[in-house]
Amino acid sequence: MRVDDKPYGGGAGMVLQAEPILKAFDKVDKKIKKGKKKVVVFSAKGKIFNQKMAFNWAKKYKDIVFITGRYEGIDERVVKALKAEEISIGPYVLTDGDVATMVVSSAVARLVDGVIRLESLKEESYWNYILKKEKEGKLDEDTLEYPHYTRPEVLEYKGKKYRVPKVLLSGNHKKIAEWRNKHR
């Protein structure tokens, strides 16, 4: 069975045909239990994936189906027929969607209850930021994580010394929290 063909209207490269993808989707869809599912097609023209989306998808969906392309992409009718959301992981083009799938899977899966200890998530800037903004009804884009350090206290590399900031060694939790907030 052929899975790709030349694009209508001309142009370089090949486009993955809709029929093989839709047949594969139907087989997968039969195995998905009833409930909320999301269908994602990775595309360079898609909406940029972010932490807010990861958080919402982890809360809202039990199943997420990722459809990835190669070459010039996927026949647009797949997106329409499956009411899929087009997503991109950044303003660049990849050879295929495999890496994008791993990125999004990792970002969403770690937010599913029981995957990571809640204490670990609560210390992250994203977690606190998202929960705060969600409560305020102002959930918007991402915030940055503060820098992290571990042993040794002084790292020597190519004749230069790199030290852990003194405040992190102080034991003063209030000052450490202030430093972390300042460096987000």
159: number of Cβ within 10 Å? 5
The predicted structure's pLDDT at residue 129: 61
114 occurs within a structural domain = no
CA distance 63 to 96: 22
pLDDT in tens, 8-64: 888 888 999 999 999 999 999 999 988 789 999 999 899 999 988 998 999 999 999
9 occurs within a structural domain = yes
The predicted structure's pLDDT at residue 141: 47
82: number of Cβ within 10 Å? 18
The domain tally of the chain equals 2
Nearest partner of 64 among 108, 121, 103, judged by Cα: 108
Instruction: Decide which of 109, 125, 160 is a domain's last residue.
Output: 109
Q: Do 105 and 154 fall into the same domain? A: no
Instruction: Decide which of 109, 133, 166 is a domain's last residue.
Output: 109
- Cα distance from N-terminal residue to C-terminal residue, the chain: 52
The DSSP annotation for 134-180 comes to HHHT---S--PPPP---S-SEEEETTEEEE--HHHHS--HHHHHHHH
The CATH number of whichever domain residue 79 belongs to comes to 3.40.1280.10
Confidence of residue 93 (pLDDT cuts 50, 70, 90): confident
The pTM of this model reads 0.74
| Strands 85-88 vs 154-157: parallel, antiparallel or unpaired | unpaired
132 occurs within a structural domain = no
Confidence of residue 66 (pLDDT cuts 50, 70, 90): very high
Its domain, for residue 21, covers 4-109
122 occurs within a structural domain = no
Confidence of residue 142 (pLDDT cuts 50, 70, 90): very low
Confidence of residue 134 (pLDDT cuts 50, 70, 90): low
82 occurs within a structural domain = yes
What does residue 15 show for φ and ψ, rounded to 5 degrees?
-120, 135
Mean pLDDT over 158-181 rounds to 92
